[in-house]
């Protein structure tokens, strides 16, 4: 049996990655996904302790975590849609008017990279020969 400490370490790694994503990304959707990643890390911990102690309360707690995450996802995605309709972008920095008064404004100085031209979709070569069509013929 794998000792419980190993599962705890994996849960800690997942939680940390989620935290970094939440702190550093600017797309609202990716930020929300990162929050869900943190929940996954915690869920691993709960289930590992449930196995370790031999009772089911950890698993039940994880079920509740999933239920709450589902609620969260519904409400948050509805919010994102509304925000997107207002500003036509999911960038969280567009809403920095809501920041604390003593926090400096975020200004982007470096220009965005130029758009790389999209690669054309592959075209299939015509395969085989088009059969002769006999328009007159009637299939009954």
Site for another protein in 60-89 (CB under 8 A): 60, 62-64, 66-75, 77-82, 84, 88-89
Q: 54 in the Ramachandran plot: left (φ > 0), alpha (ψ -120 to 50) or beta?
A: left
Of 66 and 123, the one with the shorter C-beta distance to another protein is 66
Q: Pick the closer one to another protein by CB: 109 or 138.
A: 109
| Cβ atoms within 10 Å of 15's Cβ, excluding its own | 18
- Residue number, 88 or 140, with CB nearest to another protein: 88
Nearest approach, Cβ of residue 121 and another protein (Å): 17
Least distance between another protein and beta carbon 46 (Å) = 9
Of 76 and 125, nearer to another protein (C-beta) is: 76
Measured distance CA(70)–CA(75) in Å, rounded: 9
Binders of another protein among 10-49, rule CB under 8 A?
10, 12-21, 23-30, 33-34, 36-37, 40, 43-44, 47-48
Look up residue 134 and give its DSSP letter.
Answer: -
| In contact, 95 and 82? CB cutoff 8 Å | no
Q: How far is the CB of 122 from another protein (least distance, A)?
A: 20
Tokens of 19: 């935290």
User: Judged by CB, which is closer to another protein: 113, or 125?
Assistant: 113
Contacts 24+ apart (CB under 8 A), 10-18: 10/41, 10/44, 11/41, 11/42, 11/43, 11/44, 11/45, 11/48, 12/41, 13/41, 14/38, 14/40, 14/41, 14/44, 15/41, 15/42, 16/41
Residue 53 touching another protein (CB under 8 A): yes
Using the rule CB under 8 A, which residue among 103, 107, 115, 140 binds another protein?
115
């Amino acid at each position: 049996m794998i000792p419980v400490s190993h599962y705890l370490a994996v849960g800690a790694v997942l939680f940390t990655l989620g935290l970094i994503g939440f702190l550093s990304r600017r797309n609202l959707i990716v930020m929300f996904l990162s929050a869900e990643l943190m929940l996954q890390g915690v869920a691993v911990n709960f289930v590992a302790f449930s196995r370790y102690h031999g009772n089911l309360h950890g698993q039940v707690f994880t079920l509740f975590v999933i239920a709450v995450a589902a609620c969260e996802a519904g409400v948050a995605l509805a919010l994102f849609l509304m925000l997107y309709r207002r500003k036509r972008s999911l960038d969280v920095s567009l809403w920095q008017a809501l920041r604390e008064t003593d926090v400096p404004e975020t200004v982007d100085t470096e220009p965005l990279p130029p758009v790389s031209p999209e690669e054309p979709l592959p075209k299939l070569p015509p395969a085989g020969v088009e059969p002769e069509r006999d328009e007159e013929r009637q299939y009954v």
